Amino acid sequence: MNISYSKSFIKSASKLTGKYKNSLQEKIKEVKAAQSVEELTDCKKLETFSHAYRVRIGDFRAFFIFTLENNTVNFEYLVNRGDAYSKEYIQALRMKEKEWTLLL
């Protein structure tokens, strides 16, 4: 699969250290090698979303939007588990999903 990263995701990822950084690198390799979203471990489609998923990476959650047309994963947010499902992130992810569907 093709991968793209938002500024927010890159900023959060750059702050990771140790085992979380290694886990993120392994997960990105897994995503690149996968042929479909169903092949990803610890990946779950978000309820009430059309194309949004989350991947568990230790105490963090990586949210992404999967576009089938060009087989691309767009990593949007990397958030601590406690903040992952806050209203702020869910609303922002919903807006990002709308943007991506309008582009297609």
Number of folded domains that form the chain = 1
CATH of the domain at 25: 3.30.2310.20
- 67 near 74, Cβ under 8 Å? yes
- 48 near 58, Cβ under 8 Å? no
pTM of the model as a whole: 0.84
- Domain of 92, in residue numbers: 2-103
69 class by beta-carbon count within 10 Å (0-12 exposed, 13-18 middle, 19+ buried): exposed
Closest CA to 89 of 99, 104, 102, 78: 78
Tokens (6 digits) for 79? 């958030």
| Nearby residues of 39 by Cβ (< 8 Å), 6 or more positions away | none
pLDDT, one tens digit for every residue, the chain (104 residues): 889 899 999 999 999 988 999 999 999 999 889 888 888 888 899 888 888 899 998 889 998 888 767 788 889 989 998 888 888 888 888 888 888 777 65
